[in-house]
Homo-oligomer: A and B are copies of this chain.
């Protein structure tokens, strides 16, 4: 096995530059053309070995894929189209060069459908594998999606199922469970965890629905969980929400895998589904859901009161107030 110390920083850089457009990399910084009239959108994410990924559940290819997906998802959550990403790597000298190459293969495979290049980066020695990605995108100022603009009466739309990534992680950590699931359902859940899709495909649909008029649209992505997204939007917009338990789109096999209460927990707090949670007028929500297909759903409405309630129209469960402290925290 060839490790990084064998070929050195320059040797590794030469290998990784093959993944980058040669006309862009090789200087102190990368130059990217912008579409006239658009604003710049920037987002950054850090992934740490043992915190965000581990060899038990994630191949280096999938670490790269998910790192790219998370950043593209943040751009999608703003309504922005990607221009390029930078990759900052901190790596132990004894790490295999092939690990880093597979990481880059994962990054570029996720980026490729969006024609998004890796435009630069930095490599340094560290005892802990750390991957820092910054994504740049561009946006028309009248098509921005922000957290702080939800209004009472808005429909809350999710672009797909929630809880699948969390279930996939569980299947990877405990291969002995879920033996009753059909193989296709297992694969679906595991793939949801390993190869999430940033929902950049939602943006042209939103553009069609609004045409040339400015969007009234609040939202963010559900990377930290569906409940977190609704709570953050409500906090920033100084509003509340009612979420209907029966309307939450669960992955089909989830109720076969775990009890209903666990399925609900994963759906609300599992995280890493990388869907968009959007608040918009109900007359725009309906065509959006229709265009997105059957996994997209209206899950509730924005309210004037500043609390977020999970309600049950069927009357089986008591109403439940959701709070941020139930969500995921790194520390």
Chain A interface (Cβ within 8 Å of chain B)? 4-5, 8-10, 12, 26-34, 36-48, 50-52, 73-75, 77-78, 80, 83-84, 86-90, 93, 119-128, 130, 132, 134-137, 139, 141, 144, 146-148, 220-221, 236, 324, 329-331
Contacts and interface: CB of A to CB of B under 8 A. Distances in A.
A41 B30 contact: yes
Contacts of A8: 329, 331
B132 A27 contact: no
Given A34-B39, A36-B36, A44-B132, A330 B28 contact: no
The 8 closest A-B pairs by CB, nearest first: A132-B132, A29-B43, A134-B134, A28-B77, A44-B86, A28-B74, A128-B128, A46-B88
Given A78-B29, A90-B48, A132-B132, A43 B120 contact: yes
Most buried by B among A48, A51, A87: A48
Contact of A51 (B44, B78, B121, B125): B125
B37 A36 contact: yes
A144 B31 contact: yes
Contact of A39 (B33, B73, B127): B33
A41 B136 CA distance: 10
A83 B29 CA distance: 14
B45 A40 contact: no
Contact of A45 (B31, B38, B88, B329): B88
Contacts of A44: 86-88, 120-122, 132, 134
B32 A124 contact: no
A77 B132 contact: no
Given A5-B331, A8-B331, A86-B42, A147 B48 contact: no
Given A128-B90, A331-B8, A32 B39 contact: yes
Contacts of A26: 147-148, 236
A87 B45 CA distance: 9
A10 B4 CA distance: 36
Contacts of A84: 42
Contacts of A78: 27-29, 31
B132 A88 contact: yes
